[in-house]
Amino acid sequence: MPPKKILLVEDDPFLSSLLKSRLSKEGFALIYAADGEEALALAQKEKPDLVLLDLILPKKSGFEVLEVMRLDPRLEKTPIMIVSNLGQDSDMVRGRELGAIAYFIKAKTSIDLLVKEIKDFFSKAGQ
């Protein structure tokens, strides 16, 4: 079975390199975008099994990316986990309303926990 493909959308170079390294070690195939426009182009081209999406991004915000993906028949069912510094209830509600399957606040979520949640998601999805 080919490795699960994860699109990581994160503009912070330090955090993105940590996540890329850790998720690759866990056996996932990683695709990387540093801004919202690149994220949409890669999502359409690569059809990832999961998107890890930051909200505060150059060019298009994570919320805009979510909105566009949910309106695109090819991407509307793509699972998206938000990983952001935005921790307000209103941001979390908006993310869920736009179809995010999970919302993680960077300051409160370790990389270990994030990896565990990703693995749990794939095992629950029966994949």
CATH numbers and ranges of domains, the chain: 5-124 (3.40.50.2300)
Statement: the pTM of the whole predicted model exceeds 0.75? yes
| Range list of β-strands (E), the chain | 5-9, 29-33, 50-53, 80-84, 102-105
Q: Residue 2 — very low, low, confident or very high, per pLDDT cuts 50/70/90?
A: confident
Which pLDDT does position 72 carry in this prediction? 94
Q: What is the pLDDT of residues 68-127, one digit of tens each?
A: 999 999 999 999 999 999 989 999 999 999 999 999 999 999 999 999 999 999 998 875
Q: What is the pLDDT of residues 19-30, one digit of tens each?
A: 999 999 999 999
